[in-house]
Chain A
Amino acid sequence: DTAVSQTPKYLVTQMGNDKSIKCEQNLGHDTMYWYKQDSKKFLKIMFSYNNKELIINETVPNRFSPKSPDKAHLNLHINSLELGDSAVYFCASSLQENIQYFGAGTRLSVL
């Protein structure tokens, strides 16, 4: 009964491919997030999304797109993968602006 779950845990792919990472939360939260943690362990917000609004960090390339089929899911699609996209991607959720709870992360390696 994991609160925030991400799949897959590991993803190895070639440059130029398109891939998706899935995220699901069973906490009843209304806001979900995607973060990127680089090799220096720096955690940076990519997107936040609730029913009403998608907020995009302006530094995120438009090759990245979040897709939310319902309140409990926020998937991350990445087109034309590049070497620099290699990182750990974390999904998180919260009830409005309260505490954010994180998933275990997806380690993406682009070869």
Chain B
Amino acid sequence: EDQVTQSPEALRLQEGESSSLNCSYTVSGLRGLFWYRQDPGKGPEFLFTLYSAGEEKEKERLKATLTKKESFLHITAPKPEDSATYLCAVRGGSQGNLIFGKGTKLSVKP
């Protein structure tokens, strides 16, 4: 069965304190790994798509990487506005639907 596990569930950082979020997955035939950001009361907002091991993508203070078993979302020198829940999802299998993890709630204190 396709599965996505994110850790930690919650992460509290001081402004400027870099860290990483983990997304471990098992899927039959990966057809994309997706990172989304979700703010309270809003829908998920797309950040990155990764398709093959070794691939990396960057956007401002965020960098996503992918291996055959997991993905990391690295946050460099975070700011309070980076506070949100970060969701990881994979697409695989015959139906190709997105399977989401439970998310990591990130809080960045000034």
Residues on B lying within 8 angstroms of A by beta carbon are: 31-32, 34, 36, 41-46, 49, 85, 87, 89, 91, 95-100, 102-103
CB distance from A59 to the nearest CB of B (A): 12
CB distance from B24 to the nearest CB of A (A): 16
CB distance from A29 to the nearest CB of B (A): 13
Question: Which residue of the partner chain A has the closest CB to B48?
Answer: A99
Given contact pairs A4-B43, A48-B97, A102-B44, enumerate 5 new A-B contacts (beta carbons under 8 Å): A41-B85, A43-B44, A43-B89, A97-B31, A99-B46
**Interface residues of A, count at CB 8 A:** 21
**Which of A33, A57, A100, A103 counts the most chain B CB atoms within 10 A?**
A100
Q: Is A52's beta carbon under 8 Å from chain B? A: no
A99 to B36, CA, bound (A): 10
Contact, CB under 8 Å: B100 / A55: no
CB within 8 Å for A55 and B44 given contacts A43-B87, A43-B100, A97-B32: no
A57 to B97, CA, bound (A): 10
Contact, CB under 8 Å: B98 / A40: no
CB within 8 Å for A42 and B102 given contacts A97-B91, A97-B96: yes
A1-37 interface (Cβ within 8 A of B): 4, 33
A104 to B41, CA, bound (A): 7
Chain B residues near A40 (CB, 8 Å)? 102
